[in-house]
């Protein structure tokens, strides 16, 4: 796939719509009551890994803002910003992954997961709680605990769903140079 | 955005409900949104209290105990006042958001984003997202039905966690592959029509500014100025009645 700027624009739009639909309708109950795995972060890891940091940032930012809007409580800026940051950092892996042209192997799966873990630790462990304190003046121990819980569950979701998506996608796409002249 | 001045928040909350009334939105249409935000607000307040029952004391710098509740939890004046401010903050924002969501036309929203200086490519992404949410939602339900018809069990508590995540992938994967095709199709259509060739574009749904728009902008600037001014008057984000 050639990366024309139009592709990125459309990928951001469709990616944000997918992020919204997964966030609203596809959540997986965990053994802990009232806690769900947010499958959209698996999607985010995959889309950011395919389309790069800018796409990752905007998919997460727009998608998360739309989810918040749809619930009516207004945009919870601190977490929207954190989502955007997670998308941005995950997207930095795109250059190393080359998802659209090279096969996705165990080594690349490791790269993908290193990037996503770092991204989410920064997003949920630092950015979200710090902005919660700056904007909403919430108690520090509450926001850091929330960040920790959300971060851990998102890391697990992204590790499983994101990695599987990358494998499945690269298998479904014909590898570059797989056609031979006869 | 960051203010916690009780007087300003109260005024904004009143204004928000006036806006709600003026917009003539039927309550029955937005009841579910109110319900969601109400649950969110209560949950958040309970969490704040459980994690930090005396956060208010550190903010207002005093402690007026009313009575002992249980364990390390006391009913304290300052905490009550702080959480009252948190509730006010919700009351000031929720109606405005509901008005915004239910009265804004998606394509006008995109053209407005462009007008306030956001690159038209990003504005167009937002507009695409709003346009394709219903389509993708429908497609997701189709896939979900057909996977269930094939015997895929939907996330239930009986399954192990890994199994549930794998099942989710079985649902998400067809959706994403078809969305990838969709992306290519839309991008080709847009490229054929010359999208992205120029630095600027016009919008079919753009509307000229009217007097009422300027008044609205002026009111917003005034409110921002008030919150910044109060920040200096109060010597911080909080209005402190306990120090009077």
Task: Answer yes or no: is B180 within a domain.
Answer: yes
| Residues B177, B89 share a domain | no
Q: What is the pTM of this model?
A: 0.80
* Mutation site, B16, B172, B193, interface A, largest A CB count within 10 A: B172
Task: Answer yes or no: is B244 within a domain.
Answer: no
| Residues B24, B59 share a domain | yes
Please, are residues A3 and A99 in contact by the beta-carbon 8 Å criterion? no
* Mutation site, B29, B49, B51, B82, interface A, largest A CB count within 10 A: B51
- Domain coverage including residue B118: 107-192
Task: Answer yes or no: is B16 within a domain.
Answer: yes
pLDDT given at position A138: 77
Q: Phi and psi of B75, rounded to 5°?
A: -85, 115
What does the domain layout of chain A look like in residue ranges?
5-172
Under 8 Å CB-to-CB from B43, ≥6 apart: which residues? none
Provide mean pLDDT across the span B37-61.
80
pLDDT given at position B155: 56
Indicate the residue of A39, A58, A160 with minimum beta-carbon distance to B162: A160
Residue A106 confidence class, pLDDT cut points 50, 70, 90: confident
pLDDT tens, position by position, B171-197: 888 898 889 889 999 999 998 988 888
Task: Answer yes or no: is B206 within a domain.
Answer: no
Output the CA torsion sign for A85, A19, B201, B111: negative
Q: How far apart are CA B72 and CA B172, in angstroms?
A: 46
pLDDT given at position A34: 52
pLDDT given at position A128: 86
| Residues B165, B84 share a domain | no
| Residues B53, B15 share a domain | yes
Average pLDDT of chain A? 82
Provide mean pLDDT across the span B52-63.
76
pLDDT given at position B239: 78
Task: Answer yes or no: is B207 within a domain.
Answer: no
Provide mean pLDDT across the span A35-56.
86
| Residues B100, B11 share a domain | yes
Indicate the residue of A28, A69, A136 with minimum beta-carbon distance to B155: A28
Residue B1 confidence class, pLDDT cut points 50, 70, 90: low
Domain count, chain B: 2
| Residues B135, B79 share a domain | no
| Residues B127, B141 share a domain | yes
Task: Answer yes or no: is B231 within a domain.
Answer: no
Q: How far apart are CA A106 and CA B50, in angstroms?
A: 44
Q: Which residue, B78, B104, B130, sits at the end of a domain? A: B104
Q: How far apart are CA A18 and CA B175, in angstroms?
A: 9
| Residues B179, B113 share a domain | yes
pLDDT tens, position by position, A78-91: 888 888 999 999 88
| Residues B79, B117 share a domain | no
Q: Which residue, B148, B174, B192, sits at the end of a domain? A: B192
Average pLDDT of chain B? 83
| Residues B93, B180 share a domain | no
Query: With 50 as the cut, is the pLDDT of residue B80 above it?
Result: yes
Residue A117 CB coordination number (10 Å)? 16
Residue A15 confidence class, pLDDT cut points 50, 70, 90: very high
Q: Which of B149, B147, B123 is nearest to B202 (CA)?
A: B123
Q: Which CATH class is domain A5-172?
A: mainly alpha
Q: How far apart are CA A6 and CA B194, in angstroms?
A: 10
Task: Answer yes or no: is B179 within a domain.
Answer: yes
For residue B122, the chain A residues in CB contact (below 8 A) are 9, 12, 58
Query: With 70 as the cut, is the pLDDT of residue B218 above it?
Result: yes
Task: Answer yes or no: is B73 within a domain.
Answer: yes
Q: Which residue of B has its CA nearest to A146?
A: B47
The percentage of chain A sitting over the pLDDT mark of 70, rounded to a whole number, equals 86
Indicate the residue of A135, A142, A169 with minimum beta-carbon distance to B1: A135
Q: How far apart are CA A107 and CA A15, in angstroms?
A: 26
Q: Which residue, B104, B131, B162, sits at the end of a domain? A: B104
pLDDT given at position A1: 46
| Residues B121, B100 share a domain | no
pLDDT given at position A30: 60
pLDDT given at position B211: 92
For residue B125, the chain A residues in CB contact (below 8 A) are 9-10, 12-13, 16, 58, 62
């Amino acid at each position: 796939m050639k990366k024309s700027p139009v592709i990125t624009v459309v990928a951001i739009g469709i990616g944000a719509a997918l992020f919204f639909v997964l966030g609203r309708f596809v959540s997986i109950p965990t053994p802990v009551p009232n806690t769900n795995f947010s499958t959209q972060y698996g999607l985010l890891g995959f889309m950011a890994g395919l389309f790069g940091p800018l796409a990752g940032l905007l998919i997460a930012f727009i998608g998360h803002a739309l989810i918040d809007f749809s619930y009516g409580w207004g945009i919870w800026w601190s977490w929207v910003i954190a989502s955007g940051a997670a998308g941005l950092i995950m997207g930095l892996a795109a250059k190393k992954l080359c998802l659209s042209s090279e096969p996705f192997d165990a080594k690349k799966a490791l790269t993908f997961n290193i990037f996503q873990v770092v991204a989410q630790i920064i997003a949920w462990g630092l950015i979200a709680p710090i902005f919660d304190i700056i904007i909403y003046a919430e108690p520090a121990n509450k926001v850091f605990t929330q960040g920790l819980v959300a971060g851990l569950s998102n890391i697990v979701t992204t590790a499983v769903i994101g990695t599987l998506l990358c494998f499945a996608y690269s298998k479904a796409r014909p590898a570059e140079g797989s056609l031979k002249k006869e | 955005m960051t203010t916690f001045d009780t007087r300003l928040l109260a005024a904004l909350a009143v204004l928000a409900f006036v806006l709600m009334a003026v917009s003539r939105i039927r309550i029955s249409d937005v009841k579910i949104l109110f319900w969601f935000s109400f649950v969110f607000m209560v949950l958040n307040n309970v969490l704040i209290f459980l994690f930090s029952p005396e956060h208010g004391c550190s903010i207002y710098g005093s402690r007026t105990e009313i009575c002992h509740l249980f364990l390390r939890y006391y009913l304290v004046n300052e905490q009550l006042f702080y959480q009252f401010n948190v509730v006010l903050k919700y009351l000031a924002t929720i109606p405005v958001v509901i008005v915004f969501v239910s009265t804004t036309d998606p394509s006008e929203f995109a053209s407005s984003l462009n007008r306030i200086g956001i690159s038209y490519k990003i504005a167009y992404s937002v507009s695409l997202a709003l346009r394709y949410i219903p389509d993708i939602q429908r497609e997701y339900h189709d896939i979900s039905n057909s996977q269930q018809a094939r015997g895929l069990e939907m996330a239930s508590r009986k399954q192990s966690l890994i199994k549930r995540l794998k099942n989710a992938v079985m649902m998400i994967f067809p959706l994403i592959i078809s969305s990838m095709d969709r992306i290519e199709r839309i991008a080709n259509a847009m490229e054929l029509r010359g999208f992205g060739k120029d630095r600027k574009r016009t919008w079919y749904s753009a509307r000229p500014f009217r007097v009422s728009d300027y008044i609205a902008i002026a009111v917003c600037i005034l409110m921002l100025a008030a919150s910044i001014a109060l920040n200096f008057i109060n010597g911080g984000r909080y209005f402190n009645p306990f120090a009077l």
